[in-house]
Structure 1
Amino acid sequence: MRYSSAIDLVYSIKARLAERHFEVDALFRQAGLADGECIADDALTLSDKLSHLWELVMHASDDALIGLKVSSPQPLDRSGLMGHILRASPDVRSAIENLVRYTPLVSPAIQSTIEHVSGRVRVGLYLQGRQRNSPQQYYDFVWCMVLRTIQCAAARSDLKPALVTYAFPKPEQPQIAQAYAEAFGCPVRFDMPANAMEFDNADLAAPITTARPMAADWALNMLAELAQSQRDWTRRMLAKMDQTQRAGPSVSFSSRVQQLLTGMLPKGEPLREDVAKQLRMSERTLQRRLAEEGTNFTKLVDDTRRELAHQYLSKGELSLKKMSFQLGFSEPSAFCRACKRWFGRSPKQLQQGAALFEGGEACSPRDAVNASGRNDSEVYAAWSE
């Protein structure tokens, strides 16, 4: 299912990053957002790619405020469904209510809520992904873009929220927290239960100067029909996800990385940057996700090699030389040293004593050398036997 407005958003982000002299082609290619790549993506996959993009942009700029800085008013004629929604709304209150009501038409990955609290309207925002958590810079960009587009449509640059809240941690540097307050023109609180923006009722009566009353009924009827189709599609998608979850436990992130490593090892030593690229995330995110599961990239490579070595040596179908290269070692002697570290025996000893390898406990590397009665040079020479 395709979302033209979401694709419009992708191109809009690209144009704004290009204005700030980012290497946009490389960044978008790395995030899987190169021209034509995301046209057929479903909404959640596209959201994951956009989250990955903002992680890459943050890493490239080393600027926590980059999401605020690149946002600017989106012209209504290039805003897809958001433009139609604003043109069909007579005032800011209606515009906000319609944006919340029809946001799923832009993408079901964008979830928004609206509630009325003590003289204010509170709008909540949640950017959902299939596998990634959306970074704060992604929220920054969406919040600022929507706010400034509404200000432009209402011809009210002084139209500001009364309060903005973030579910993200408070910035350690006071100047960053101050920059958020200046960007939104109101108090900004962090470590809150939700990402939300509140407007005073008095400010919501501002008329939308670009509204087209004659076309409003037609536009809203069209949006209602599209919304119903989207709700039907979302129900089918959720039902499919529920069936998948019931089919069995989800695969851990480290298990997914191990699957990639298994295919990469025969080509040589796996590089962290190559794994991160295949997973469409930054190296920093890869390291963080692995740390959350109590491991790291180097340990996971070693664990994967050890498990594969156990399988290969148990089956005895490969020569020791071929086995070493299948595990990504540059030379057989490196595999020999690894085996002695893992199992307390050289590969040749393990093949000759398969019963001990499969059922007994491995002795220490020192004990293995002493038991064999041979030094390392003699063990390495056994590779040619």
Structure 2
Amino acid sequence: MSNLTISAGVAAGLIAFAVERGADRADLMASAGVLPADIEDADHRLPFDTYMALMRSAQDMCDDPALALHFGEAVDLAELSIVGLIMNASATMADAFAQMQRLGRLTLETEGLSDGPRFQTSMRDGQLWMVDTRINPNAFPELTEGAFARLVCGPRRFLPRPHVLAVQVTHPAPAYRAEYDRIFQCPVSFSSDWNAMRLDPQIATWPVALQPRYVFDVLTQRADGLLQALEDQKTLSGRVEAVLLPLLHTGEASADGVARALGFSRQTLFRKLKSEDASYEQVLDALRHRMALRYLSGGRVSVNETAYLVGFSEPAAFSRAFKRWTGKSPREVRLARAAG
């Protein structure tokens, strides 16, 4: 899952929820290697593995193995992602589902059985089902728990009657299975052959429109831009950045190490980057530039700390690089941000 990502809004939401339930914020973030600047922008991307680490640590700190269920039950998608806001502004449930299929990757990316959307509809024995098609779901069943609880509890707040009539999951029944019954309020089957929810056959026509159409249009334009940016990251340059990001502060962002992580030789990495009119040094330099600006603009990290976080062992070398990038010193940028 090394190339899969989640939105920072989802990570920030989980952190806030866990803190409300007793977790220590600093310890939780440190356990997953999350910096404050990483979650300031809800549309920023974090590695999917970071979310897994956050969830597992939060479960331990809150002494709540059902935390993913409770997170999905309590926190609406609109509080975490632009995708939830767009779904809430859709005209009908069918429109909302279409937007979830189209934009779902903006919330989090998963490995699916096909190149299509994660959630798809299917007919079985004359019944309508919404199916989660991700691969190896039992490796991280918390993702199923959170998604299903959110898809049940969010619409329940405004729909005229229950929209989910049955739930089936591939993982075995956990010790807290009573929480499934309480939250889903319908028959739940474990160790099934799929992860799916049976829907009311009339659900497609039920109205949503919790926000005006104008809001839908504005948010959709924003989401389209984010989706394009996410697609752009699927270039090799973007994949290199994804590998480099958690390594910057270690000072060990070598081309050999990145090539190994991507399954290439050093020479193959360089050749493939050249086909994108890029070099390894350019990708690393651009990432350091962007991350340095983000840290300094956040106003919570010193110049020396920023130098360390982006992989410079000497603050003087960082200052020279920053002056080359921006024409200004790091302190000038940080002071301008503080004055603003």
The answer to whether residue 140 in structure 2 is matched with residue 135 in structure 1 is: yes
CA distance in 2, matches of 1:157, 1:94: 17
Residues 165, 196 of structure 1: 8 Å contact kept: yes
C-alpha spacing 1:212/1:116, structure 2 compared with 1 (3 Å): farther
Code of the aligned partner of 2:263: Q
Residues 120, 133 of structure 2: 8 Å contact kept: no
Equivalences, count: 237
Residues 100, 113 of structure 1: 8 Å contact kept: yes
C-alpha spacing 1:35/1:194, structure 2 compared with 1 (3 Å): farther
> What SS does the aligned partner of 1:170 have?
coil
Q: Give 1:67's aligned residue.
A: 68
* Larger mean Cα displacement after TM superposition, 83-92 or 220-229: 220-229
CA distance in 2, matches of 1:81, 1:128: 27
C-alpha spacing 1:239/1:79, structure 2 compared with 1 (3 Å): closer
Q: Give 1:161's aligned residue.
A: 164
The answer to whether residue 132 in structure 2 is matched with residue 124 in structure 1 is: yes
Q: Percent identity?
A: 17
Residues 166, 195 of structure 1: 8 Å contact kept: yes
Of 99, 108, 119 in structure 2, the residue corresponding to residue 113 of structure 1 is 119
CA drift at 1:85: 1.7
CA drift at 1:189: 2.0
Residues 120, 132 of structure 2: 8 Å contact kept: yes
C-alpha spacing 1:237/1:57, structure 2 compared with 1 (3 Å): same
CA drift at 1:237: 7.5
Q: Deviations over 1:298-330 (max 9, x none)?
A: xxxxxxxxxxxxxxxxxxxxxxxxxxxxxxxxx
CA drift at 1:89: 1.2
CA drift at 1:81: 1.2
CA RMSD of aligned residues (A): 3.9
CA drift at 1:114: 0.8
CA drift at 1:103: 0.7
* Larger mean Cα displacement after TM superposition, 239-248 or 58-67: 239-248
| Structure 1 portions without partners, runs of 5+ | 249-385
Deviating 4+ runs (over 4 angstroms): 37-43, 235-243
CA drift at 1:99: 0.8
The answer to whether residue 166 in structure 2 is matched with residue 148 in structure 1 is: no
CA distance in 1, matches of 2:77, 2:59: 28
Q: Deviations over 1:24-43 (max 9, x none)?
A: 32122212124124669985
Residues 12, 39 of structure 2: 8 Å contact kept: no
Normalised TM-score (structure 1): 0.51
CA drift at 1:127: 8.4
CA distance in 2, matches of 1:140, 1:108: 16
CA distance in 2, matches of 1:245, 1:61: 38
Q: Give 2:317's aligned residue.
A: none
CA drift at 1:238: 9.7
Code of the aligned partner of 2:132: G
CA distance in 2, matches of 1:38, 1:109: 20
* Larger mean Cα displacement after TM superposition, 34-43 or 63-72: 34-43
Q: Give 1:32's aligned residue.
A: 33
Q: Give 1:191's aligned residue.
A: 191
> What SS does the aligned partner of 2:122 have?
strand
Q: Give 1:203's aligned residue.
A: 203
CA drift at 1:61: 4.2
CA drift at 1:109: 4.0
Q: Deviations over 1:29-59 (max 9, x none)?
A: 212124124669985x532111112222233
> What SS does the aligned partner of 2:36 have?
coil
CA drift at 1:217: 4.4
